[in-house]
Amino acid sequence: MTQYESARTHMITSQLRPNKIADPRLLAAFAAVRRELFVPPSLRAVAYVDDDLPVAGGRALMRPLFAGALLLAAAARPTDKALVVGAGTGYEAALLGLLAKSVVALEEDERLARMARFALAEERALAVSVVEDVLAKGHRARAPYEVIFFAGAIAEVPQEIEAQLAEGGRLVAVLRRREEIGHGVLMTRMPAALGRRILFDADIPFLPGFAPEHAFSF
């Protein structure tokens, strides 16, 4: 077993399983995807720590526990189309690529999109397509999506992205105010409304363009 394989196994046994992330398909995805490919070379030795990891442009790779909890709630199926908003270097998109039929990894930062393409190619994540565009617009060309995953904190879900969620679809994100702890949230598209359930507390960085205005209040 290599250093990275050992660290990956430890991540699953010490971070995911003790926090009730036990779905076999999801754990198999975490065991298969090489997280070290999705961080800068200088951070590969700590790729599996229980913390957010800086990648580029002020962005961070979400800690495995939060990503796992959101993916568990999203309950991606092999027939689903998924959208990752703010895909960054592509790690969560790679995980979803093993759970869903197809994944759009949406990223507006050119450097991060380039890193994602390289890492996803190394991982042979054939189900994942990297799209460069404004994050708040989503990607209407491939909508509707059964799963929408925000790979960073947001103040609210843009209406344009909300409209891209399929009937019965699941949207997962960390919603937070500027200075307060955020909450992992599951939103489900129902015939007459968008249901919402709070899952856990989480303090992660905002995606660019998704932080609240100074006067914003819930």
Residue 215 scores a pLDDT above 60: no
For range 120-135, the mean pLDDT? 97
Range of the domain at 194: 3-202
pLDDT in tens, 165-201: 999 999 999 999 877 789 999 999 988 788 999 999 9
Give the tens place of pLDDT for each residue, 62-110: 999 999 999 999 999 999 999 999 999 999 999 999 999 999 999 999 9
Would residue 209 count as lying in a domain?
A: no
Q: To the nearest 10°, the Cα dihedral for 69, 73, 74, 75? A: 110
Give a yes or no: residue 127 inside a domain: yes
- Tell me the pLDDT band of 217, cut-offs 50, 70 and 90: very low
pLDDT of residue 57: 87
Q: From 101, 100, 86, select the one nearest 158 (Cα to Cα).
A: 86
Q: Is residue 216 part of a domain?
A: no
Q: Which one, of 190, 204, 83, lies nearest residue 141 by Cα?
A: 83
Q: List pLDDT tens digits, range 15-57.
A: 999 999 999 999 999 999 999 999 999 999 999 999 999 999 8
Q: What is the pLDDT of residue 189?
A: 94
Cα dihedral: 8, 21, 154, 35 (round 10)? 10
Where would I find the H helices in 75-206?
A: 91-97, 110-122, 159-162
Report yes or no on 106 lying in a domain: yes
Residue 82 covered by a domain? yes
Which domain CATH number covers 60? 3.40.50.150
Total domain count, the chain: 1
CA angle 147, 43, 211 (to 5 degrees): 45
pTM greater than the 0.85 cutoff: yes
What confidence category does residue 218 fall into, taking pLDDT thresholds of 50, 70 and 90? very low
Confidence of residue 214 (pLDDT cuts 50, 70, 90): low
Instruction: Answer whether residue 213 is part of any domain.
Output: no
